[in-house]
Amino acid sequence: MRGLLLASALLSLIGGQALAADAISAEPAAVHDWSGVYVGGQIGYAFGKSDAVFSSPNTPVFHASQDYDIDGFLGGVQIGYNYQINSVVLGVEADIAGSDIKGQSGGINPRGDFYDTKVDWFGTLRARAGYAFDSTLLYGTGGLAYGSVENRYLDGPFNSFSEKSTKAGWTLGAGLEQAFTDHWSAKVEYLYVDLRDQTIDYGGSNTEFDNKLSTVKIGMNYKF
C-alpha cells in the first residue's frame, strides 16, 4: 500500500513538472520593440560625379561641359524616433556629418585651367518607414538634405572664381538595422543626395555645377 502511495506521488510530481515545462515552452518568444527615441553615430563613404556646364549668354554657340569624380569619407551623429504598429515601423531621423568629399577636373583648356568641388559637411532630416522581422528592420527613407558646398574655377595659378554656400535639396534611400539587445542596434544605409545646382558667374559667362552624390554608411544606435 505504501508502495502504491509512493508511486502515485512520484507520478503526480513528474506529471506536474512535465506540465510546467510544457507551459514554459509554450510561452511566446519576446519580440523586439522598435518604438522610442534613439541616438547614435555613423561613418561612411560618399561618391559621385560632378557635371560642370560652361555657357556664355552673349555667345550662345559657346557651350561646354566637364564631368569629374568626387568622393571622400564622412562621420557624424544622428537622433531619431520610431513608432511601431504591429510589424510596421514609422519614424523620423535627423543626422549631420563632417566630410572630406572633393574632386577635381582635368584641364578644361590649353592653359590647364580646371574646376574643383568640395563638400565640408552635410545633413539630412528624413522620414523612415519599414517592416520589422522581430529584431531586423528593413526600411526606406527620404526627405530634406542640406550641406556646405564650394565649387571653384581655377584660372591659372593666381586667379580663381568660387562660390561657397549652404545648399538645400533632397535625399532618398534605404537601409537595414539589426537590434542586438533591447537598447543597442547597428545599421547599414544607402542615401542618394541632391544638393541642387550652384553657379559661378564671371560677368558675361558662367559655369553651373550639379551637386549630387551617393553615400554608404554604417552606424550604431542606442534606444532609450
One-character DSSP codes across 63-131: EEEEEEEEEEEEEEEEEEEEEEETTEEEEEEEEEEEEEEEEE---SSTT--EEEEEEEEEEEEEEEEEE
pLDDT at 29: 56
Lookup: cell for 161: 572664381
Q: 139, 173 in Cβ contact below 8 A?
A: no
Instruction: Give the H/E segment covering residue 9.
Output: helix 2-26
pLDDT at 63: 57
| Paired sense of beta strands 184-194 and 114-133, if any | unpaired
pLDDT at 61: 52
Quote the CA–CA distance of 214 and 216 in Å, as a whole number.
7
CA distances to 88, 101, 195, 216 from 71, in Å: 35, 5, 15, 11
pLDDT at 202: 80
pLDDT tens digits, one per residue of 95-113: 999 999 999 988 777 677 8
CA distances to 54, 102, 161, 205, 207 from 63, in Å: 6, 25, 18, 10, 10
Residues 6+ positions from 213 with CB-CB distance below 8 Å: 46, 47, 48, 70, 101, 119, 192, 193, 195
pLDDT at 11: 34
pLDDT at 59: 57
Q: What percent of the chain is modeled with pLDDT above 90?
A: 63
pLDDT tens digits, one per residue of 27-57: 445 689 999 999 999 999 999 989 888 887 6
Identify which has the larger pLDDT, 29 or 184.
Answer: 184
pLDDT at 62: 54
The residue among 41, 50, 97 whose CA lies nearest residue 69 is: 50
Quote the CA–CA distance of 86 and 43 in Å, as a whole number.
31
> Average pLDDT for residues 5-29, to the nearest whole number?
41
In three-state secondary structure terms, 1 is coil
pLDDT at 190: 98
* Candidate ranges 55-59, 61-65, 86-90, 199-203; pick with highest mean pLDDT: 86-90
Quote the CA–CA distance of 183 and 148 in Å, as a whole number.
33
pLDDT at 113: 83
> Average pLDDT for residues 185-196, to the nearest whole number?
97
CA distances to 3, 14, 30, 79, 142 from 87, in Å: 56, 40, 14, 22, 20
End-to-end CA gap in the chain: 62
